[in-house]
Structure 1
Amino acid sequence: MKKLSKYPVFLFLYCAAALFILYYCKNEKPQPVYEDLGSVKQEIIKTNSAFEKQINELINLVSEDADEKILQEKFQEIRKTYKKMEWAVEYFLPHSARFINGAALPEIEMDEHTEIEPEGLQVLEEMFYPYEKENKDEVIRFLKKLINKSNTIATNFQVITVSKNQVFDAVRQEVFRISSLGISGFDTPVSGTFLQEIPYSLGGVQQTLQQISTEQSKNKALKAIVAEISSAIAVLKKNTDKNTFDYAGFIPDHLNKIAALLPEFKNQEQIPDVEVTTALNKDAATFFAKNAFNPNAFTPGKEFAYSDEKVGLGRQLFNDKILSNNNNRNCASCHIPEKAFTDGLAKSMSLENAELARNAPSLNYAGFQHGQFWDMRKDDLEGQSADVISNKEEMHGDLNVILAKINQDKKYQQAFQKIYHSQKTEVWQLQNVLASYIRSLAAFNSDFDEYMRGNKSAMTANQKRGFNLFVGKAQCAICHFVPLFNGTVPPTFKKTEQEVLGVAVNGDNKVFDRDLGRGKFHETVATLQHSFKTPTLRNINKTAPYMHNGGYKTLKEVMNFYNKGGGKGFGFTIENQTLSDAPLHLTDKEIDDIIDFMKALDDR
């Protein structure tokens, strides 16, 4: 779909129409028919018209060599206008949204091993902060590309049907987007103006809910939502300094309350669910709720659906040496529960007791990512389990031999038959039960989770300061996204990111680690060389040593590496480093507070 950005607008219209047909026809359940919400579409078109007008005004200012401050002010106006309609563009035109406000990194076509030039607001932000007149032509070129995307928005919203349940779903996603990407400054990494923009995102949410509401909710849930949004905006207007803002107070006291009121609005308006499988359960009040996440959104297909029976059988096999060639090793040999399913070694040991290439990653929360292993060479946990079992250095097992053993074991045979209703166990079923067990290793019961659910005493004062630094000054949350704290991007959680950090062989930071990571499988893609998956920080206190090579013994060493600006900060030449090389200027006390906060991510 990303390739469509190269083609004329009519292809966008064709794909939009096709997507909506598939959206409804793929389900057996008859979908409720809603009248097309023309007023909502007209408001989007109106906002987009203002967006385009402001872009043209900025082009004129750039052409006239206006002062940098004036250019930055006009650019901020453009961003704020986009934020008003962000909920709609991100939901109905996600591929266009990627090129309007996506990260200033090339879009990668994995199958073709090619890169597509980044564009949009984040690319322009880097050009305006600071602005250099010699880049005038490039700035105008990217602004004109942005106008093309604005035209795509206008054309699409004139023809697509927008129904009430879709609009509600889109608005709900926007609240979660604000609570994760928005509040971390993910899309303003240079200017840091995100706290000034959130009121416009919230304003778009409020206006849209008011448009689709009836008398059923106006004096009930809607009234409460409007009050909470007003309260949140008042707090945001008092302090827009990202380094001193109280994120630890704002998220539970305001954003979570807005999110929790949305199900009430939905019930009062009698809005049915949009019938698609999503990472966030439809009834989750916030994404900090105990059962907010749906593991089935991360499985290869319906037959791989998660169940307690599969988890139980997978647990038995995970701890059974039947999976290895000589019955002398099981999965738990390298993934120890007490160590958050790592082994505590810098690098895992082979069957011959030789050091392997990388550190054993935690299996906790591994089910909530698209890309397994440090180099993301497998898409899902099913593929991951087969790779490990058959690896001659790790378990040296043969899946067909293992199946023969299982089919000769009456207890295992009966268990598989009960779950899959087949006479003979198949390879995919073995993979699926192991993957199901790993998907169960996400407790979401840390002190941080309790705090976000309303228990204000669950975190200490130091940990709250640490969280504020984590989100604000240290910018950790723009890669380790709340609430999973990994690289799976909220609020749709359909993509897991990798980063190039410039990691050294150890915490001395004197020798660059030459491991190509994901780049090994995409040799012609420059941006992927030395890139590695962004892992979860949940239970990070239990999983030392750190990084893909296990070279960093303590969290203090890790934080010092980030504080300096990653590999570039230590003098390594890494053209494609995605981590900002700007020093964070964290004090020792601030680093200690961040580490203390990360301890609050330990499951109980």
Structure 2
Amino acid sequence: MSKLSKYPILLFLYCAAALFTLYHCKNDKQQPVYEDLGSVKNRIIKTNADFEKQINELKALVAKDADEKLLQEKFQDIRKTYKKMEWAVEYFLPHSARFINGPALPEIEMDEHTEIEPEGLQVLEEMFYSYEKANKEEVIRMLNKLINKSNTIDTNFQVITISKDQVFDALRQETFRISSLGISGFDTPVSGTFLQEMPSSLQGIKETLEQISTDRSKNKALKSIVAEISSTITVLKKNTDKNTFDYVNFIPDHLNRITTLMLDFKKQENIPDVDVTTALNKNAATFFSKNAFNPNAFIPGKEYAYSEEKAALGHQLFNDKILSNNNNRSCATCHIPEKAFTDGLSKAMSLENSELARNTPSLNYAGYQHGQFWDMRKDDLEGQSSDVISNKEEMHGDLNVILAKINQDKNYKAAFKKIYHSQKTEVWQLQNVLASYIRSLAKFNSDFDEYMRGNKSAMTDNQKRGFNLFVGKAQCAICHFLPLFNGTVPPNFKKTEQEVLGTAMNGENKTFDTDPGRGKFHETVSSLQHSFKTPTLRNINKTAPYMHNGGYKTLKEVMNFYNKGGGKAFGFKLENQTLSDAPLQLTDKEVDDIIEFMKALDDQ
């Protein structure tokens, strides 16, 4: 018996020391960061104090009936101050952030079928642009609510602990927020002042990176980031006109460089990843890097994780008529690869060859949504597959009967057993392989992606002008968020939005389509009536006809509808229309350029 084993306390200390040494040897390059960054918190608290002070000053001006221009100037100052700390509020207090700078639309509690009054900066923006003194009391009420949120920021950052890995993760998310929501003017839809605000967001990132940096990065990545941010701010200050700004070059030449340099900073500072599954991979240098997105951020549980083996088996079943009741229809019957997995028809056809209620949606990029079908009635692709299979008008299949067929087929049985290590195939496994195949259909290899990766010859001049219009004058990117071009909100991608457009029965725009959409499942929620999921525009050139009802034959008809201002512009009474009813005033040439750009979103 050794001397150590006779003395338990010595043995314990020896083992602890050995484990400590072993741990730090193994993690020499990337050690966990637990320290509380008090200086960073103090800066957030100080910025928030300025934020509250400015709100109170604006409130006093409103009470004194100051003129509209002065109120707007002070309001813009408040927004710029918020932008300096937006990275922290969005990351550490996401619920508060939603009510500080979320859309001026009711927050919906889906489970309770209720709506919560909107508040915050976007609501106030609508009140200040243009301002009416008759609304003074309501404006002051909203400013008081904003002060309450400022108090929440102060209270929380006085007590919470934040670490270097979290701060870096939050700053990285903010750079991607700028590259998507920020550059589209998502949170300034009325004033359009987002290009004036972006320098404040970038300044907040720069100052915080300087706070958390060490000698490891100061003369390397940090120096490069500071220089690039300064260059980016200079470009922004040269042109603040959203209709003429050069977005198509600004993103790859500046914003992509900043996000890439941040990964260099992370490596040099030995900052570990925050252990949370996210849609954007932790090692993605830009939104447009190959394999930037993680499909496992959209699965219902760990056992549903994507794999190429699952996708291959799902592909086989997708094309097998075994899934239908009479073995006469497969998934591929209605989702044709050459048509971006649509069918080219106005409306899907039933087993009896009669029209169904809606257009067949594309399956490309369907894996990057929270909500399947036009009405979002299923949360994920697993639920979507079983809904279609069991629908008596679509495939009229019985999942238990299908499983019996699969378990009697030696090839299918062996394939499922190899993947799931179970003796018998289960329903969730069938759902999962089909869903995995659909998740594999996001290729991210369009000419637009190539352009954003640095190949400046990948798009034509018309397409480049079209993208600038898409983001700027036409405001398409406010709903079709970069880089997925659907309604899944970046940079967290945790929510997919629906919109109320006021869609007509067809491109003549004479008769309103009364389909309740998502409202069918939330009859007491007025804002959801006639709402539909915002689909991706990737491969849109291949998926005619358009809209949930397939009533619009061409992209030209779709653009005409948007250009005029949606359903309200055509006289439809729709109080809850989320699409702005202000005409876009796009010329025919501009419309053509936008359509040309959308062709650049076709996967190769």
Using the size of structure 1 for normalisation, the TM-score is 0.95
Residues 1:543 and 2:543 are matched in the alignment? yes
Report how far residue 418 of structure 1 moved. 0.5
- Give CA deviations for 1:339-397 in whole Å, capped at 9, x if unaligned: 00000000011000000000000000000000000000000000000000000000000
Task: Tell me the residue number matched to 1:66.
Answer: 66
- What amino acid is aligned across from residue 73 of structure 1 in structure 2? E
SS at match of 1:115: strand
- Give CA deviations for 1:225-281 in whole Å, capped at 9, x if unaligned: 001001100000000000000000100000000001111000000000001100000
- Give CA deviations for 1:479-499 in whole Å, capped at 9, x if unaligned: 000000000000000000000
- What amino acid is aligned across from residue 116 of structure 1 in structure 2? I
CA distance in 2, matches of 1:354, 1:156: 58
CA distance in 2, matches of 1:405, 1:34: 54
Task: Tell me the residue number matched to 1:317.
Answer: 317
CA distance in 2, matches of 1:425, 1:151: 54
SS at match of 2:111: helix
Task: Tell me the residue number matched to 1:102.
Answer: 102
Report how far residue 32 of structure 1 moved. 2.2
Task: Tell me the residue number matched to 2:495.
Answer: 495
Residues 1:244 and 2:217 are matched in the alignment? no
Residues 1:218 and 2:256 are matched in the alignment? no
SS at match of 2:510: coil
- Give CA deviations for 1:182-240 in whole Å, capped at 9, x if unaligned: 00000000000000000000000000100000000000000000010011000000000
Instruction: Kindly report which structure 2 residues correspond to 1:144-159, keeping only aligned pairs within 5 A, or say none.
Output: 144-159=144-159
Aligned length: 575
Contact 2:33 2:271 in 1 (8 A): no
Instruction: Kindly report which structure 2 residues correspond to 1:581-596, keeping only aligned pairs within 5 A, or say none.
Output: 581-596=581-596
Task: Tell me the residue number matched to 2:11.
Answer: none
Task: Tell me the residue number matched to 1:576.
Answer: 576
Instruction: Kindly report which structure 2 residues correspond to 1:413-492, keeping only aligned pairs within 5 A, or say none.
Output: 413-492=413-492
SS at match of 1:111: coil
Task: Tell me the residue number matched to 2:402.
Answer: 402
Task: Tell me the residue number matched to 2:561.
Answer: 561
Residues 1:603 and 2:603 are matched in the alignment? yes
CA distance in 2, matches of 1:255, 1:468: 15
SS at match of 2:217: helix
Report how far residue 33 of structure 1 moved. 4.3
- Give CA deviations for 1:556-591 in whole Å, capped at 9, x if unaligned: 000000000000011110010000000000000000
Task: Tell me the residue number matched to 1:183.
Answer: 183
CA distance in 1, matches of 2:447, 2:461: 13
Contact 2:365 2:442 in 1 (8 A): yes
Report how far residue 31 of structure 1 moved. 8.5
Give structure 1 stretches of 5+ with no counterpart: 1-29
Residues 1:526 and 2:526 are matched in the alignment? yes
- What amino acid is aligned across from residue 531 of structure 1 in structure 2? S
- Give CA deviations for 1:524-543 in whole Å, capped at 9, x if unaligned: 00000000000000000000
SS at match of 1:589: helix
CA distance in 2, matches of 1:422, 1:51: 58
Task: Tell me the residue number matched to 2:126.
Answer: 126
Task: Tell me the residue number matched to 1:115.
Answer: 115
- What amino acid is aligned across from residue 312 of structure 2 in structure 1? G
SS at match of 1:217: coil
- What amino acid is aligned across from residue 308 of structure 1 in structure 2? E
Say which one has the larger Rg. Answer: 2
CA distance in 2, matches of 1:35, 1:402: 55
- What amino acid is aligned across from residue 161 of structure 1 in structure 2? T
- What amino acid is aligned across from residue 506 of structure 2 in structure 1? N
CA distance in 2, matches of 1:506, 1:437: 33
Report how far residue 442 of structure 1 moved. 0.4
Instruction: Kindly report which structure 2 residues correspond to 1:360-375, keeping only aligned pairs within 5 A, or say none.
Output: 360-375=360-375
Instruction: Kindly report which structure 2 residues correspond to 1:377-388, keeping only aligned pairs within 5 A, or say none.
Output: 377-388=377-388
CA distance in 2, matches of 1:462, 1:354: 41
SS at match of 1:215: coil
SS at match of 1:108: strand
CA distance in 2, matches of 1:228, 1:573: 49
- Give CA deviations for 1:66-107 in whole Å, capped at 9, x if unaligned: 000000000000000000000000000000000000000000
Task: Tell me the residue number matched to 2:17.
Answer: none
Report how far residue 138 of structure 1 moved. 0.2
Task: Tell me the residue number matched to 1:11.
Answer: none
- What amino acid is aligned across from residue 211 of structure 2 in structure 1? Q
Report how far residue 290 of structure 1 moved. 1.0
SS at match of 2:115: strand
Task: Tell me the residue number matched to 1:26.
Answer: none
Give structure 2 stretches of 5+ with no counterpart: 1-29
Task: Tell me the residue number matched to 1:332.
Answer: 332
CA distance in 2, matches of 1:408, 1:154: 63
Task: Tell me the residue number matched to 2:516.
Answer: 516
SS at match of 1:277: coil
- What amino acid is aligned across from residue 149 of structure 1 in structure 2? K
SS at match of 1:436: helix
CA distance in 2, matches of 1:287, 1:316: 31
- What amino acid is aligned across from residue 331 of structure 1 in structure 2? C
Task: Tell me the residue number matched to 2:24.
Answer: none
- What amino acid is aligned across from residue 185 of structure 1 in structure 2? G
Task: Tell me the residue number matched to 1:160.
Answer: 160
Task: Tell me the residue number matched to 1:203.
Answer: 203
Instruction: Kindly report which structure 2 residues correspond to 1:50-61, keeping only aligned pairs within 5 A, or say none.
Output: 50-61=50-61
- What amino acid is aligned across from residue 136 of structure 1 in structure 2? K
- Structure 1 stretch 31-40 or stretch 209-218: which is displaced more? 31-40
Contact 2:33 2:165 in 1 (8 A): no
Report how far residue 108 of structure 1 moved. 0.2
CA distance in 2, matches of 1:86, 1:31: 27
CA distance in 2, matches of 1:81, 1:183: 18
- What amino acid is aligned across from residue 362 of structure 1 in structure 2? S
CA distance in 2, matches of 1:178, 1:210: 19
SS at match of 2:108: strand
Task: Tell me the residue number matched to 1:193.
Answer: 193
Contact 2:31 2:272 in 1 (8 A): no
Q: 4+ residue runs of structure 1 moved beyond 3 angstroms?
A: none
- Give CA deviations for 1:145-165 in whole Å, capped at 9, x if unaligned: 000000000000011110000
Contact 2:324 2:395 in 1 (8 A): yes
Contact 2:176 2:490 in 1 (8 A): yes
Task: Tell me the residue number matched to 1:27.
Answer: none
Give identity over the alignment, percent: 85
Task: Tell me the residue number matched to 1:228.
Answer: 228
Contact 2:365 2:439 in 1 (8 A): yes
Report how far residue 34 of structure 1 moved. 1.7
- What amino acid is aligned across from residue 297 of structure 1 in structure 2? A
Task: Tell me the residue number matched to 1:88.
Answer: 88
Task: Tell me the residue number matched to 1:255.
Answer: 255
CA distance in 1, matches of 2:148, 2:301: 36
Task: Tell me the residue number matched to 1:137.
Answer: 137
- Judging changes above 3 Å, is the alpha-carbon distance between structure 1 residues 488 and 31 closer, same or farther for their aligned structure 2 residues? farther
Contact 2:340 2:539 in 1 (8 A): yes
SS at match of 1:199: helix
Task: Tell me the residue number matched to 1:303.
Answer: 303
SS at match of 1:576: coil
Report how far residue 287 of structure 1 moved. 1.0
CA distance in 2, matches of 1:399, 1:222: 56
